[in-house]
């Protein structure tokens, strides 16, 4: 009999967590698993990429509670009062006070989800995959019946405002807590030592064959530029560090390097980055390409791949660039050192404008280093392929 597995995510936005989930479920044998995906909202460029045999359901009340979840409670309470919603304002103000005193949001989620019924059927496995997202963790823990429950952690818990008081109460209800990198696990264990016995490393699933196959589909760069192309892939947000990349490119152009920087992805910081690009007069050289369902032709064609993130859990785009044997520069976010060997398969820097600037100059001017990195990445991919075939 097939095992019934439920995954829960926020939406299917084009991002690393969603891509990791797609990679995972694609490799799950359907003769063994019946998969259901529960989303908070019907949104995202990856919706069409969900395998057709997977049942997709949604949380009916999420749009009503979204503003409460994503904004400070005292602010939402004040807005409710101005709209004449006196009772709602008082309730939210009360939860705001409780939250500040106890650092515990479980009562708030219990109230917000009071009209959401328990799942109609029991699952063999239920997974809070978009973690740590407290609402999803709470929903899987308290609203889903399952024989086994797992929590996934995709981010560095020391960088994202992780609520350890909430985790101490709710994460006890999960059999396992999977973290996508060893460094990420170490940081979670240090922050939550009482949960150490539950944590385990489960790296993101990325198919080398799929990445390479998709890299030869589509057209990639459409402009006739004949200089050095730098590429960064990731949503346009502060944690991904594109603001630093803009300033680095301004330095490169100032000293005369013929280079153009492309960014694939979209997000809430797009307008701010457009203003920053204009302020540095880089409209022709720092190109925001927007979201691309298939970024791999661009990765294959770029000269240097740069990941300037402030923080990550384990970066899928870094893995993909490795699979395409690109010279890589990455900041030392969580998990980066597990993917890149310094000056062997890439260059690692601090999150520092001058260090990234110097690393790019080093790659541009040292063709021998470029060839060394490419050769080592190619050998690494061959070794991974051989190992995987032996294991199979």
- Do the Cβ atoms of 92 and 101 come closer than 8 Å? no
Q: Please say whether the beta carbons of 229 and 297 come within 8 A.
A: no
Q: Report pLDDT for 117.
A: 72
Q: What is the pLDDT of residue 392?
A: 38
Task: Give the alpha-carbon dihedral of 337, 340, 346, 347, to 10 degrees.
Answer: 0
Is the CB of residue 288 less than 8 Å from the CB of residue 179? no
Check the CA dihedral 310-180-201-175 and report its sign.
positive
98-112 pLDDT, tens per residue?
A: 777 777 788 888 888
What number of residues does the chain have?
392
Task: Report the share of the chain in percent with pLDDT over 90.
Answer: 73
Among residues 15, 71, 9, 67, which one has the least CA distance to residue 42? 9
How would DSSP label each residue in 260-291?
EEEEEB--TTHHHHHHHHHHTT-TTTEEEEE-
* Strands of the sheet with 123-128, listed across from one edge: 55-58, 33-39, 3-9, 123-128, 146-153, 176-179, 199-201
The domains located in the chain, with CATH, are 3-60+116-201 (3.40.50.2000), 209-387 (3.40.50.2000)
Least confident of 117-121, 134-138, 166-170, 388-392: 388-392
Residue 384 has pLDDT above 70, yes or no: no
Whether residue 390 is predicted with pLDDT greater than 70 in this model: the reply is: no
H, E, C per residue of 310-356: CCCCCCHHHHHHHHCCCCEEEECCCCHHHHCCECCCEEEECCCHHHH
Output the six-digit token pair for 335.
């998990």
Q: What are the tens digits of pLDDT across the range 265-306? A: 999 999 999 999 999 999 999 999 999 999 999 999 999 999
Specify the pTM: 0.89
Segment 31-58 mean pLDDT: 95
| Residue 230: pLDDT over 80 | yes
Q: Which tokens sit at 273?
A: 């980055």
Question: Which residues have a Cβ under 8 Å from the Cβ of 24 and sit 6 or more positions away?
Answer: 205
User: In this predicted model, which residue has the larger pLDDT, 380 or 6?
Assistant: 6
The sign one gets for the Cα dihedral 74, 77, 81, 87 is: negative
Write down the pLDDT at residue 348. 98
């Amino acid at each position: 009999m097939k095992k019934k597995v439920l995954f829960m995510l926020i939406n299917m936005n084009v991002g690393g967590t969603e891509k990791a989930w797609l990679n995972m479920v694609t490799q799950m044998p359907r003769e063994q698993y019946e998969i259901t995906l529960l989303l908070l909202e019907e949104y995202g460029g990856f919706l069409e990429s969900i395998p057709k045999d997977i049942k997709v359901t949604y949380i009916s009340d999420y749009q009503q509670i979204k503003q409460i979840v994503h904004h400070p409670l005292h602010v939402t309470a004040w807005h409710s009062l101005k709209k004449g919603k006196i009772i709602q304002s008082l309730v939210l103000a009360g939860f705001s006070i409780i939250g500040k005193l106890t650092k515990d949001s479980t009562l708030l989620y219990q109230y917000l989800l009071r009209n959401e019924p328990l799942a109609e059927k029991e699952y063999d496995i239920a997974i809070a995959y978009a973690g740590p997202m407290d609402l999803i963790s709470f929903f899987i823990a308290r609203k889903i019946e399952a024989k086994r429950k797992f929590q996934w952690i995709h981010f560095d818990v020391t960088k994202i405002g992780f609520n350890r008081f909430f985790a101490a109460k709710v994460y006890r209800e999960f059999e396992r807590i999977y973290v996508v990198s060893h460094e990420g696990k170490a940081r979670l264990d240090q922050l939550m030592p009482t949960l150490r016995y539950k944590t385990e490393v489960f790296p993101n699933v990325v198919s080398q064959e799929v990445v390479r196959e998709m890299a030869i589909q589509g057209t990639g760069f459409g402009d006739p530029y004949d200089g050095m192309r730098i590429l960064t892939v990731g949503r346009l947000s502060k944690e991904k560090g594109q603001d630093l990349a803009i300033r680095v490119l301004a330095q490169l152009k100032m000293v005369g390097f013929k280079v153009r920087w492309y960014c694939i992805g979209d997000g809430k910081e797009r307008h701010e980055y457009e203003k920053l690009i204009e302020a540095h007069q880089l409209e022709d050289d720092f190109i925001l390409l927007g979201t691309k369902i298939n970024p791999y032709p661009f990765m294959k064609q770029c000269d240097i791949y740069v990941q300037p993130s402030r923080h990550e859990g384990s970066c899928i785009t870094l893995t993909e660039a490795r699979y395409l044997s690109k010279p890589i520069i990455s900041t030392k976010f969580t998990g980066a050192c597990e993917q890149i060997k310094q000056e062997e398969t890439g260059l690692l820097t601090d999150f520092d404008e001058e260090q990234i600037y110097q690393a790019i100059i080093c790659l541009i001017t040292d063709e021998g280093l470029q060839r060394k990195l490419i050769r080592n990445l190619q050998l690494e991919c061959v070794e991974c392929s051989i190992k995987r075939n032996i294991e199979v």
